[in-house]
Structure 1
């Protein structure tokens, strides 16, 4: 019974489908006869849409090809330099640091020079008054030799001990002292001679080229020659 019902339903559905297909074919034929004009209109409309789409695509490309406006860079604030700071009457931080460093270096050198001066003068004094604990030091002797004509580094109070020390010295140091002293004496003699003969212009020019030695240097040179001359 169930199988017969299923077959009857299938046959009924098939008949309905055939009827629908016939109706569709008739409608299609009528539509083909009467809708040729409509199809043409639809084709033209489709072409227009395609054309517009193409133009739109071309426009987008052209817009993308347009150069973008460059972004404006923010101007950085001017950095303070030594020149600008000097114009305003103020020193830059870098310049102030340089000056402080140079001042520290100068102060350190001045302290070192004072310490060396004190050590060399003590060396000379110890030789005079404490020979048992005194030791020869070539560096200090060289310092005394180089500064023999300076009244600031070798004061007048230490000069007599200076002469005694080098009078007892051995080696080539005495000859070197005498050579330096004779140069000062010669320079003073040339200056004196040039000023005694100022009758001609040539002599005046010669006199202007000769420098008179300092009086203290000249007196020390004479003392060295008198003390060390054999």
Structure 2
């Protein structure tokens, strides 16, 4: 009898596993006999224990995965370092065209300086030849104009050449003589105006009544103007 009961229980269990019998449906269990009810109930308990076990495993796996994710630190993305631009260097760097222009300007300025020095020496030689080598001297209007324009310049006409220039212009006639006197009288008047300005400051005259554009001429220029007037008016 025991063997038959075990065989019957095994057969019912296999049928329950092979079929889609719903162990949770109580109506199906009520229609069975007592032996079958016991088998179904035991199977139901096993099924419930299996479900509880699978549910606990799922929750443990969830906790494990969350713990793994929390334990692993997140990788931070490396920020790209900003490389400083060389805009300031490019601005300061001169272009080839600009460098060529500057070199050309330097060469041109040097050439002009050489030309001025050559003209200065030629005009002074012209004046010296008029004094000491009259037979070979020839009148040149361009050189005379240069001497006239630069008569008060101590850089172009040194003090050693000033007496020769006075003697050269002493015999001047016509328009050039009048121009020489007019330029010399301007220097004398400028000195007189500057002297009056100094006297006004000493007398506490208001600044708005004074001419601030008046400047004192150089002493050498003033002395040359006086000597030129004396030479031409004698």
TM-score range, shorter chain: 0.5 to 0.7
Aligned to 1:119: 122
Aligned to 2:184: 181
Distance apart, 1:229 and its partner CA:
1.3
Distance in 1, matches of 2:113 and 2:172, equals 30
Aligned to 1:108: 111
What is the RMSD of the two structures over their aligned residues, measured on CA atoms?
Answer: 1.8
CA pair 86-133 structure 1, distance change in 2 beyond 3 A: farther
CA pair 92-173 structure 1, distance change in 2 beyond 3 A: same
Q: Secondary structure at the match of 1:112?
A: helix
CA pair 171-187 structure 1, distance change in 2 beyond 3 A: same
Please point out which of 163, 168, 171 is paired with 1:165.
168
Distance apart, 1:121 and its partner CA:
0.4
Aligned to 1:192: 195
Distance apart, 1:153 and its partner CA:
0.5
Distance in 1, matches of 2:226 and 2:117, equals 28
Kindly provide the CA deviation profile for residues 52-86 of structure 1, in whole angstroms up to 9, marking residues without a partner as x: xxxxxxxxxxxxxxxxxxxxxxxxxxxxxxxx686
CA pair 86-105 structure 1, distance change in 2 beyond 3 A: farther
Distance apart, 1:214 and its partner CA:
1.4
Distance apart, 1:204 and its partner CA:
6.8
Q: Secondary structure at the match of 1:209?
A: coil
Distance in 1, matches of 2:189 and 2:163, equals 24
CA pair 170-98 structure 1, distance change in 2 beyond 3 A: same
Aligned to 1:226: 230
Distance in 1, matches of 2:233 and 2:96, equals 60
Contact 1:191 1:207 in 2 (8 A): no
Distance apart, 1:169 and its partner CA:
2.2
Q: Secondary structure at the match of 1:174?
A: helix
Kindly provide the CA deviation profile for residues 192-211 of structure 1, in whole angstroms up to 9, marking residues without a partner as x: 01111223443575153311
The answer to whether residue 183 in structure 2 is matched with residue 150 in structure 1 is no
Please point out which of 184, 208, 212 is paired with 1:208.
212
Q: Secondary structure at the match of 2:206?
A: helix
Kindly provide the CA deviation profile for residues 4-63 of structure 1, in whole angstroms up to 9, marking residues without a partner as x: xxxxxxxxxxxxxxxxxxxxxxxxxxxxxxxxxxxxxxxxxxxxxxxxxxxxxxxxxxxx
Distance apart, 1:89 and its partner CA:
3.1
Distance in 1, matches of 2:141 and 2:101, equals 37
Q: How many residues align?
A: 147
Aligned to 1:71: none
Distance apart, 1:92 and its partner CA:
1.4
Q: Report the TM-score, using the length of structure 2 for normalisation.
A: 0.59
Contact 1:195 1:207 in 2 (8 A): no
Aligned to 1:6: none
